Structure 1
Amino acid sequence: MHPDQSPLRARSAPRHVPPLLLDIDQMLDEFSRQAVRAEFRFDPDTPAVVTVEFLAERGPGVIWRIGRQLLHRGLTEMSGFSDVRMWPTLSGERPSSWLLLETQEMEALFELPTAELAEWLDATYRIIPDETELDGLDWDGFLLGLTGGPGVPGE
């Protein structure tokens, strides 16, 4: 080991996971698909949430923030409810999962390749394990913000 390297630094995991770019399919109807690129981003400061940007060929992309645990579980079982749900497809040529996003105005169903997403999610869990992802949250400040209690910005 180099003299400038401490044993702790040599074993520590990096704090950054590069964004994951995936080519996915959007289901337009029962028989038609459209290729879409999606960028998955992880921020260790908000580890419970993954930012997914669906990139448009022209114009701005569409951004969704999806629970990291929902994505992870959706690789192997039904996960989520309401406006975001994910579940594995039936076995086929390549392992994949369905991701359903809904609002009052629209519904979009995407097929995601699971191998690349699983590997990327595993890298995020090496940085911030599932059981510690909520440790750094300011619960008091969060609850005050929800209830409009004292100390809320803008008062």
Structure 2
Amino acid sequence: MTSRWTPGHISPITLQLVGPQSWTEVPALLCYDPTDPFAVRIAFGEGEPDGGDGDDGIAWLVSRELLQAGLEHPTGDGDVRVWPAHATADVLFLHLRAPSGEALFELSRGTVAAFLRHTEVLVPPGSESSLLELDQELDALLSNGGPDSPGR
């Protein structure tokens, strides 16, 4: 299997799926790729963070900035919301909503904070835009991915 996803940092994490009468442990991976510097991928049920051939896992892209803010106060709108628990210092809630349903997870605030510190070593906050090749991407889009566009 060939992967196009180039990991910068991967951290295993166990989330607790909060159900109406019980909680279920859900193993996942927090994945950060400096070539997509604004996003953190949360890969559920996957052996590989790219969700390659044969894997039936699910991956969500979440804003790195949203996760960082969610460590301190409720944040997010719509499909992804994050907030710290008031009663327990190491608990972070993650609410994901899709057309097929929604899920509320409880996860370790400390694990997420440590993961984000590693991503900040790779790409300091505020420097994300400098890593993106926006001019090249725009040229490729405007030329319909023609022969003059690099790497297309």
Classify the TM-score, shorter chain.
0.7 to 0.9
State the partner residue of 2:13.
22
Deviation by residue 1:100-148 (Cα, 9 ceiling, x = unmatched): 1111221011001011110111111112111101112233455577xxx
Picking from 99, 107, 110, the partner of 2:105 is 110
CA distance in 2, matches of 1:18, 1:127: 9
Picking from 72, 75, 78, the partner of 1:76 is 72
2:95 aligned with 1:100 = yes
CA distance in 1, matches of 2:18, 2:139: 42
- For normalisation by structure 1, the TM-score amounts to 0.76
Picking from 56, 63, 66, the partner of 2:59 is 63
State the partner residue of 2:32.
42
- For normalisation by structure 2, the TM-score amounts to 0.77
The alignment partner of 1:118 has SS state of helix
State the partner residue of 2:116.
121
Residues 137-152 of structure 1 aligned to structure 2 (within 5 Å): 137-140=132-135, 150-152=142-144
CA distance in 2, matches of 1:68, 1:26: 21
State the partner residue of 1:32.
22
What are structure 1's unaligned runs of at least 5 residues?
A: 1-15
The alignment partner of 2:59 has SS state of strand
RMSD over equivalenced CA pairs, Å: 2.4
Report the CA distance shift for 1:86/1:142 in structure 2 as closer, same or farther (over 3 A): farther
Larger Rg: 1
* Greater alpha carbon shift after TM alignment, 136-145 vs 98-107: 136-145
Q: How many residues align?
A: 134
Q: Which amino acid aligns with 2:70?
A: G
State the partner residue of 1:12.
none
CA distance in 1, matches of 2:70, 2:117: 14
Report the CA distance shift for 1:82/1:143 in structure 2 as closer, same or farther (over 3 A): farther
CA distance in 1, matches of 2:136, 2:81: 29
CA distance in 2, matches of 1:70, 1:142: 25
Q: Which amino acid aligns with 1:133?
A: E
Q: Which amino acid aligns with 2:69?
A: R
Picking from 23, 44, 47, the partner of 1:54 is 44
